[in-house]
Amino acid sequence: MSLLIGSMTGLFGIGGGFLAIPVLVLFFGTPQAVAAGTSLLIIALNSLISFFGHRMYWGEVQWHIPIFIAGGAIVVAQLASRFSSKTSPVVLRKAFAYLLFAVSLFTLAKTWIA
């Protein structure tokens, strides 16, 4: 199972979050919090390796865009960590589900239009 998840993560850039956590929890009995941290480590390592593996394209990157996104992610993560404990887990799960649904619709629309 680990080889399959690792292969999917390495080849397609998927699996660090939505595949690794269930596998760690269900097949290996890893506690949810440890599985989430392990998943984040997998994502970070995969991203770092990809970043350095594609260094020949660094000259083509408009660096202000990823820097702006990273800054926004840091600010939102800090705000979310402060307010998530004050919000119902049910509301957070529903909001996340709606967000995923909206992103999937946007992705489908962009795919069909392009």
Is the same domain home to 67 and 57? no
For helices 20-28 and 2-12, the axis angle rounded to 10 degrees is: 170
Residue 62 is given by DSSP the state -
Residues 17 and 2 both lie in one domain: yes
Span 21-32, mean pLDDT?
Answer: 87
Instruction: Tell whether 44 and 12 lie within a shared domain.
Output: yes
Q: Which domain holds residue 57?
A: 1-61
- Same domain membership, residue 45 and residue 9: yes
Q: Is 17 exposed, middle or buried (0-12, 13-18, 19+ CB in 10 A)?
A: middle
Together in a domain, 3 and 57:
yes
Write down the pLDDT at residue 114.
65
Q: Please tell me the total count of domains within the chain.
A: 2
Closest CA to 5 of 19, 17, 18, 22: 19
pLDDT in tens, 54-113: 999 999 999 999 999 999 999 999 998 888 888 888 988 898 899 989 998 998 998 888
Q: How confident is the model at residue 50 (pLDDT cuts 50, 70, 90)?
A: confident
Q: Looking at the structure, do residues 57 and 68 belong to the same domain, yes or no?
A: no
